[in-house]
Amino acid sequence: TAAVSTGAFAQAFPSKPITFVVPFAAGGPTDLVARRLAESMRKPLGGANIVVENAAGAGGTIAGTKVARATPDGYTLLVWHIGMAATTSLYRKQTFKPLEDFEYLGIINDVPMTLLGTNKLNANTYRDFEAYIRANGGKLNLAHAGLGSASHICGLMWQSAVKLDKSMTTIAYRGTGPAMNDLIGGQVDVMCDQTTNTTGQIEAGRVKAFAVTTAKRLDKHKLLKDYPSLQEMGLKDFNLTIWHGLYAPKGTPPDVLKKLNDALVVALKDPEFIKSQEELGALVATDNRVTPAGHKAFVASEISKLKTAIEAAGQFAD
Ligand code: MLT
């Protein structure tokens, strides 16, 4: 009967590939966490195929809108970062509502950022760097991944914290994966990006790092421990950590959401997943933010926190 087959369908989730929509280009920090998470969620989802789709543009809001409007069946999910909470204050035109249009599945990780310069930049320490930017800011380019991206928020907050007379010219990319290539090549001068994308490049000497954005230095990380925190360098209260979360469209059936959340919880305990994040300076989420309610409450608190910071920096998009 129809009733039996409906039941069988619900039982069968997932019975076709799941798509993780990523709001930035391949090869960047969000793509990296999504692909790694897909590998670790596969087994707890019964060997399901999970594919990553990069839907870059407009600081992540294109992907956010796409998933908000997708069929709520658990097959289209969103992996997004702090932009979920920031873009609602940055964009005057809202194409989705972060607290109303999604089901919350859990926070994935917390990722510090590093302030970087191209190797050609005439500075080797944070003090030199700040002085150099103060003197030359108007002539320099800051790369970021679009309004509302983590790299954009960091650049905005840093420039407002050091009170530059002349802001750097900002150049938007489709993700910090491609932006990193131009920083290495010297086509842009400065970028603030997540350690998951920067650690390898710093270690290989392809870019210069000056500071980390967390309140304290990352004293447990073999490479990043050598860089001061911006607070240590006198930027009182500067504290920026990027987090990623997993979302489904509003209205996804509760039994499907439960399977997805259970699989996320298992994936976040996978030693391979933990190692992949810790090696790159990130921490896997372990607290109550890995529950739907904890995740949603956290995003709500981030929305209010970021609204204040964004309004203070006074930069908006239409
Ligand atoms: C990316 O994946 O490219 C980043 O998360 C971009 C950013 O937000 O800076």
The Å distance, Cα 29 to ligand 1 centre, comes to 6
Which residue among 194, 195, 198, 280 has the greatest number of ligand 1 atoms within 8 angstroms of its CB, and so is best to mutate? 194
Q: Average pLDDT for residues 8-16, to the nearest whole number? A: 75
**Mean pLDDT, residues 192-203 taken together:** 98
> How many angstroms separate the Cα of 237 from the Cα of each of 172, 229, 230, 252, 269?
27, 11, 9, 39, 32
Global pTM exceeds 0.80: yes
Q: Using CA of residue 269, residue 242, residue 297, residue 58, what is the dihedral sign?
A: negative
Task: Tell me, using a 6 A CB cutoff, whether residue 180 lines ligand 1.
Answer: no
CA of 34 to the centre of ligand 1 (A): 12
Cα-flanking dihedrals φ and ψ of residue 13, to 5°?
Answer: -60, 135
Q: Is 151 in the pocket of ligand 1 (CB under 6 A)?
A: yes
Q: How far is CA 52 from CA 4, 76, 219, 264, in A?
A: 33, 10, 33, 16
Q: Does residue 6 surpass a pLDDT of 90?
A: no
Do 22 and 62 touch, CB atoms closer than 8 A?
A: no
Q: Probe ligand 1: pick from 30, 36, 158, 171, max atoms within 8 Å of CB?
A: 30
Closest-CA residue to 180 (of 121, 260, 116, 137):
116
- Give the distance (Å) from ligand 1 centre to CA of residue 198: 11
> Do residues 120 and 249 touch, judged by C-beta distance below 8 A?
no
pLDDT confidence of residue 5: 45
pLDDT tens digit string along 135-164?
A: 997 899 999 999 889 999 999 889 989 988
pLDDT of residue 297: 98
Of the chain, the percentage scoring pLDDT greater than 90 comes to: 85
Q: At what angle do helices 150-162 and 126-136 cross, to 10 degrees?
A: 80
Ligand 1 pocket residue status of 195, Cβ below 6 Å? no
29 lines ligand 1 (CB under 6 A): yes
- In this structure, the strands spanning 102-118 and 141-144 are unpaired
The model's pLDDT over 202-217, given as tens digits with 9 standing for 90+, comes to 999 999 999 999 999 9
Tell me the pLDDT tens digit for each residue of 14-69: 999 999 999 999 999 999 999 999 999 999 999 999 999 999 999 999 999 999 99
**Residue carrying structure tokens 């087959």:** 5
SS3 content of the chain, % helix, strand, coil (to 5): 45, 20, 35
Position 315 scores a pLDDT of 63
Choose among 113, 112, 114: nearest CA to 126: 114
Q: Is the CB of 174 under 6 A from ligand 1?
A: no
Answer yes or no: is the C-beta of 213 below 6 A from any ligand 1 atom: no
Per-residue pLDDT at 11? 60
CB of residue 150 inside a 6 A radius of ligand 1: yes
Pocket test for ligand 1, best of 111, 193, 201, 240 (most atoms within 8 A of CB): 193
Atom 3 in ligand 1: residue holding the nearest Cα? 175
For 245-270, what is each residue's pLDDT tens digit? 999 999 999 999 999 999 999 999 99
Of ligand 1's listed atoms, the one at least distance from the Cα of 193 is: 9
Q: Residue 111: which residues within 8 A CB-CB, separation 6 or more?
A: 29, 33, 81, 150, 194, 195, 196, 241, 242, 243, 244, 281, 282, 283
CA 48 to chain centre: 25
146 CB under 6 A from ligand 1? no
Q: State the pLDDT at residue 316.
A: 60
> Nearest Cα to 306, choosing from 169, 154, 92?
154
